[in-house]
Structure 1
Amino acid sequence: MSPQDHDDWYSAETATLGDRLAAARDQAGLSQKQLAKGLGIKTGTLRDWEDDLAEPRANKLAMIAGVLGVSVGWLLSGEGEGVDAPLDEGAVSPDMTGVLNEMRELRVQISGTAERLARLEKRLREIMKDQDA
Structure 2
Amino acid sequence: MPDVTDDSWFSDDIATFGDRLAAAREAQGLSQEEFAQRLGVKLRTVRHWEEDAKEPRANRLQMIAGMFGVSIMWLLTGQGPGVSSPETNDGGELPRLLGDLRGLRRDASDIAGRIAALETRVERLIAQEAA
Measure, in 1, the Cα distance between the counterparts of 2:14 and 2:7. 10
Q: Once the two structures are superposed, what CA deviation does each residue of 1:79-131 show, in whole Å capped at 9, x if it has no partner?
A: 1111122329xxxxxxxxxxxxxxxxxxxxxxxxxxxxxxxxxxxxxxxxxxx
1:9 touches 1:85 (CA, 8 Å); kept in 2? yes
2:17 touches 2:50 (CA, 8 Å); kept in 1? yes
Mapping 1:24-103, distance limit 5 Å: 24-87=24-87
Measure, in 1, the Cα distance between the counterparts of 2:41 and 2:79. 26
Matched AA of 1:38? R
How far is the alpha carbon of 1:4 from its aligned partner?
A: 5.7
The residue aligned with 1:126 is: none
Runs of 4+ more than 2 Å apart: 2-8, 85-88
The residue aligned with 2:91 is: none
Gaps of 5+ in 1: 89-133
Bigger CA radius of gyration: 2
Matched AA of 2:27? Q
The residue aligned with 1:14 is: 14
Using the aligned pairs only, state the percent identity: 54
Alpha-carbon RMSD across the aligned residues, in angstroms, is 2.1
Query: Please, what TM-score do these two structures have when normalized by structure 1?
Result: 0.60
Gaps of 5+ in 2: 89-131
Measure, in 1, the Cα distance between the counterparts of 2:10 and 2:26. 14
